[in-house]
Structures are given as C-alpha cells and as structure tokens.
Amino acid sequence: MGKFFNQILKMDILEVFILSLVEGLTEFLPISSTGHLMAAAELLDIALSDFLSSFLIFIQLGAILAVVVLYVKRLRTDVVLLKKIAAAWLPTALIGFALYSIIKEVLLTNLSVVAWSLGLGGAGLIIFERWLGRHPERMNRFDLETLSYRQAVIIGCYQALAIVPGVSRSGATIIGGLALGLSRSAIVEFSFLLAIPTMVAAVGYDLWQSGLAFNAVEWQAMALGFALSFIFSLVAIKWLLAFVQKHDFSWFGVYRIVVAVFIYLVIIS
C-alpha cells in the first residue's frame, strides 16, 4: 500500500502520518502549523504539487472537527458568541479571498518567508509578554461574555496577518486578544472557535478552485490525514488549555526562533 501511495502521490503512508501529526499538534499553538508543514514536506522531500497544497489545507478540517466536538454544546447555545466569531472572521475572509492566488502560488512556496516570520514572530511574542508582565493592569479586563463586536473585529484583523506563512493564525489572534485585555484562557478559546469558519472557508474555497479533481487514492490520503489530524488536535487543544493556566507564551517565542534558525541553516542553506 505504501508503494502504491508513493507511485500515485509521491507520498507514502508514513509521510501522510507525519504531516497529519504536525498539523494536529501545531494548528492551535502559536507556532504556525503552515510553516511547520512546509518545513516537514521539504525535509521529507515530497514534491511540491497542487495536490500537496490541497492536502495540507484539507487536513486542517480534522483539526477543526476537534474544536467542534469539544465545544459543540457552547456553539449550539451561545448565539451572541457565534455573532462575535462571525464579526472576527470577516477581515480574514475578505483579505484571504482577495489574495488567494498570491497566498497559494507565492507565499506557500517560500520557506524563507516562513523562517523570517517564525523568527520575528517569536521575538515579538517574547517582547510582548515581557511588556505585558510590566503592565498587569492590561490583563484580564475582558472575557468572552464582555468582548464587544468592535474588539472581535480587531482580533480578526490580527488573525488576517496569518495569511503570511510562519506568522501563525493562533499566535496573531492570541496577541491581538491579549493586547485588548482578554484573559489568556478566554483568547485561547476564542482562537479555537474562530478557527472554525476561517479554516472551513479556506478549505472549501481551495477545493472549489481545484475543481475536486482528485483521484480515489488522493481522496483516501486526505481522509487518512483528516482522521489523524483530528486525533492529534484533541490532544493539543486539551494540553494548551491546561498550559495557559500556569504559563505565558514566552516559551513558544523561544521555540519559534529555534525552528526559524533550523529551517534557515538546515533546509534553506
């Protein structure tokens, strides 16, 4: 079966597993799942193709399903929160649809952009956390119930920065929320929920653009990646919720810088 996958996709089952593992564990952490996936594909020497780009986007649906499963009750009952999520989604939707071709054909093929985004974003995260530590009065002023629609849109504008691979959708969203005064747990949960319309729209639009022109084996690979990323995302979400109860995000900044250096020295150079 692995040989069959390799003949058709230039990917085997182990590579599908690794990419799905990377997606599931990094999608909701402020370290850029897209950047990690691009680096992993390069390390695995998987040939760049339209299918690979679509596969990397499609398996994000598995991660989104994990959020839906964990928050299904709240999503069904909190109409006001759903409206705030919709308001935050609009800036990303407008920018993402407008720049779709540039994102897929230019940004998603450039590891130098990933390395710089990871490194600069990591340094920015560390600096921001130190600033926040000196201004505790800026913290915990809002929760999801008191978050205004205007603040939700501002958070969405931060998320839109993640069209640049390596920036991190969750990282940009978290920094935006903390800057506004949300608690760590509140903005982490809002980041989870905001990922639902953001990624569903991105995957749906990409599949529509591709014309769903995949063969049976390619669909099997995407189904396997979907299931694996769902499982790994459940683990990552629960871990992050526990982590933010006792820690800030500085260590993620350090990690981003290390990964940026690794990408530049090992993969690019």
Q: What is the pLDDT of residues 161-175, one digit of tens each?
A: 888 888 999 999 999
Q: Global pTM? A: 0.86
Inform me whether the pLDDT recorded for 102 exceeds 70: no
Confidence class of residue 2 from pLDDT cuts 50, 70 and 90?
very low
Q: How far apart are CA 255 and CA 125, in angstroms?
A: 11
Give bridge partners of residue 142 from the DSSP assignment.
182
* Of residues 114, 94, 26, the one with CA closest to residue 63: 26
Residue ranges of domains in the chain: 2-268
Inform me whether the pLDDT recorded for 136 exceeds 70: yes
* Least confident among 104-108, 150-154, 215-219, 265-269: 104-108
**Tens digits of per-residue pLDDT, 39-67?**
998 898 887 777 777 788 888 899 999 99
Q: How far apart are CA 88 and CA 150, in angstroms?
A: 9
Inform me whether the pLDDT recorded for 8 exceeds 70: no
**Tens digits of per-residue pLDDT, 185-202?**
999 999 999 999 988 887
Residue 177, both tokens: 């929320």
Inter-CA distances, 37 with 53, 208, 258, Å: 10, 22, 16
Is 43 within 8 Å of 267 (Cβ atoms)?
yes
What are the residues whose beta carbons fall under 8 Å from the beta carbon of 195, sequence distance 6 or more? 27, 28, 63, 64, 67, 169, 170
Q: Is the dihedral of CA 34, 40, 42, 48 positive or negative?
A: negative
What are the residues whose beta carbons fall under 8 Å from the beta carbon of 247, sequence distance 6 or more? none
Inform me whether the pLDDT recorded for 7 exceeds 70: no
Write the DSSP assignment of 79-139 as a string of letters.
Answer: HHHHHHHHHHHHHHHHHHHHTHHHHHHTGGG-HHHHHHHHHHHHHHHHHHHHHHHH-GGGS
Inform me whether the pLDDT recorded for 217 exceeds 50: yes
Is 201 within 8 Å of 61 (Cβ atoms)?
no
Residue with tokens 């992050």, as numbered in its chain: 240
Q: What is the model's pLDDT at position 6?
A: 46
What are the residues whose beta carbons fall under 8 Å from the beta carbon of 15, sequence distance 6 or more? 44, 46
Inter-CA distances, 39 with 8, 11, 223, Å: 22, 15, 22
